[in-house]
Structure 1
């Protein structure tokens, strides 16, 4: 597969300082990797397939900002003690293609970087053709899809809350794309470092001007100073009808409770509220989403679709998913690069083998139940908003369809 998604040159962005890992770079250059070195700040806005970083004492806030802004496969090298830190393990699972424990060999690093490059190329190719949608058969996901249709034309500020990786930005983009403003700009602004860009300056229009015809997506609102909050409140009062979407992982609500963010401004920004579901509370959707990502990205490399092994399904069900759907997608895409057998295994996902009962499929009835569940998931993925059509697709009645959903705990 590495040949299928190869690129003409090997570009590697190296985040300094690399410390004790410097001796690993010379063999990379001899093997044809073109290295560009810099700090997290100097690499901002850079493009490249793979980023190599030593996770030793890197500050997490600027690192997370770069992870969100750069379309690349990140590879970390770190010592075992750092890997044991909970926040580092969660960060790696959600954002990184791979993490190598030190000491490692140049050969091991080179193989990992080649796989990461294939992963990055796969993502870029898929990104050119991917249609956005909000999947899920759980009650929250179905409600959100209905709200998308109802709220896309609401000319009032809207707040989307939810844990990281749960689809807040996706939901905002879908709201924009389904509105009459879809032909205009959707601009995303992180107020944590760009609050001054909100308002007009001499010779330069502020980001809020975008919300008059297009959509302005704001994050990091909890960091706004008191004077900036006052200025924003006045602007919203004098410019009604702006298409303004704010996203929060809970920090904005906490800031209001602590008195650091104005309640009147919060009420105006949260005139309409949406909440994205947590993946660990939607476990019946786990296989549906994983299969969707596998088919979506696997089609790019032209290989037959791999199903997930029973141990992989058990591992996914048992995992806590702190990074929610983004972490699931990241792990599935990575597994497409790493999987060697006929199935995707728990190890390919970077998860421990599940300990759930009945992991092995040994009887005819086991195979029948598995095929039945897969058929239901496929029908639901294709006709998520039309249960009657989903039932007709399978050639069964709607009551039978609902009975099977209940049997397999898909509702």
Structure 2
């Protein structure tokens, strides 16, 4: 049986393709010649193509689109004479190709190039897998859905610069975890990470806690105290629930962000501080500005970059791996006989809307692990009832159908690793229908959508070589 990786995507001059197929017949390759870019990208989502052959003699203008829209393929260009090519075509080969062969057909040499490209592709896969493993370890997050992958990419982008970041999201979605991940992936990772909840600070001590105070600054100030901002120098300061900071303190925080200096309470001089500020809120700060509860100038200072942490209901496919992750994390709390979750409890967790998000899940899982008296955790142990996340009193029949349809689509995508063709086949519908349903239910298409294809003037065929 042929290895799945010994498959080649071929585009370009059809007669040259035929000659190359015949010449390579003894090297056991499978060559696929797509008719359109859409067909090429569809087959890539199903099968393991890593090497592409491109025939540039009399090449149609759509060839650059193939090569640039499929950058994960290691392209090898076959041409008659590189000197006769236009500057634009030579630049295309330089930018997009792993190697090229010019001159008369040499099957052995072309096979060597293909083998080399395939080996480099496999090495690239190993390096990418290791890079993601290391980065996800730094992120300390669980979830592999497109929604979470988008969050990971955003975290890595904002971590690479030193500007302020505003982290938004509902309560319990992991805003502090996101802030820690940004710090761990940044150039400040060797410095301190200090977090403070602005809503939990005593009203009379906020300024002292943030900026510090000198000895004798007020009654009870028996010694100098370094504030949390100054204590975060060369590191990261995370201001959680920034929307709860009193207006009078917002003025002082704005001054610090503009000048990067602090005045200790009772102090006489400004102290420069090198710190990156991350802030988080679960409230809509723009609405708070309209109500006069938050300063607009401070908002713009904090909102240079923004990261939004998704609610758990936006990526229900991650519920089961998250539950298993927390089960393993707190396994020291469970009875020896407890082995995991029943299938019914996993279904119920998928249906529940999780208003408290990850924080609520942690609490329910830990409680169930302690209280469960059987081998598997039941919905009752979790404190959940079937369909608890949906109101029977208010949902219409159509709403119930839509909800079931949405859950089935999400589950099929998750089982098929977000490969559209596989998910559509499992559901017994056409790809076009599945795309329409993704749009209907507002399911994030990031990572699964297929861009519009450019037609390619040839027929589609697969040529098996033995």
Task: Give the TM-score category using the shorter length.
Answer: 0.5 to 0.7
| Equivalent-residue separation in structure 2 for 1:341 and 1:178 (angstroms) | 42
SS at the partner of 2:331? Answer: helix
| Equivalent-residue separation in structure 2 for 1:238 and 1:308 (angstroms) | 53
| Equivalent-residue separation in structure 2 for 1:275 and 1:246 (angstroms) | 12
Structure 1: any 5+ residue segments left out of the alignment? 1-129, 357-372, 381-386, 388-397
SS at the partner of 1:243? Answer: strand
Based on CA coordinates, which of the two structures has the bigger radius of gyration? 2
Candidates 178, 183, 188, aligned match of 1:171: 178
Aligned to 1:201: 213
| Equivalent-residue separation in structure 2 for 1:147 and 1:318 (angstroms) | 28
| Equivalent-residue separation in structure 2 for 1:293 and 1:405 (angstroms) | 32
- Aligned residues of 1:316 and 1:354 also touching (Cα < 8 A): no
Give the 5 Å matches for 1:127-276.
Answer: 133-192=140-199, 193-194=201-202, 195-196=206-207, 197-202=209-214, 203-239=224-260, 242-250=275-283, 252-276=285-309
Return the TM-score normalized by structure 2: 0.47
Higher relative contact order, chain-length normalized (CA < 8 Å, sep 6+): 2
Aligned to 2:48: none
- Aligned residues of 2:194 and 2:237 also touching (Cα < 8 A): yes
CA gap of 1:267–1:355, structure 2 versus 1, over 3 A, is closer
Displacement after TM superposition at 1:272 (Å): 0.7
Corresponding residue pairs, total: 248
SS at the partner of 1:160? Answer: strand
**Larger displacement relative to structure 2 (164-173 or 326-335):** 326-335
| Equivalent-residue separation in structure 2 for 1:332 and 1:274 (angstroms) | 27
**CA-atom RMSD, angstroms?**
3.5
Displacement after TM superposition at 1:249 (Å): 0.5
| Equivalent-residue separation in structure 2 for 1:302 and 1:151 (angstroms) | 42
- Aligned residues of 2:352 and 2:388 also touching (Cα < 8 A): no
Aligned to 1:310: 343
Structure 2: any 5+ residue segments left out of the alignment? 1-136, 215-223, 261-272, 390-410, 428-442, 449-466
CA gap of 1:225–1:326, structure 2 versus 1, over 3 A, is closer
Return the TM-score normalized by structure 1: 0.53
CA gap of 1:190–1:405, structure 2 versus 1, over 3 A, is farther
Aligned to 1:280: 313
Aligned to 1:391: none
| Equivalent-residue separation in structure 2 for 1:342 and 1:226 (angstroms) | 53
CA gap of 1:173–1:183, structure 2 versus 1, over 3 A, is same
Candidates 287, 291, 297, aligned match of 2:324: 291
Displacement after TM superposition at 1:301 (Å): 5.7
Displacement after TM superposition at 1:231 (Å): 1.8
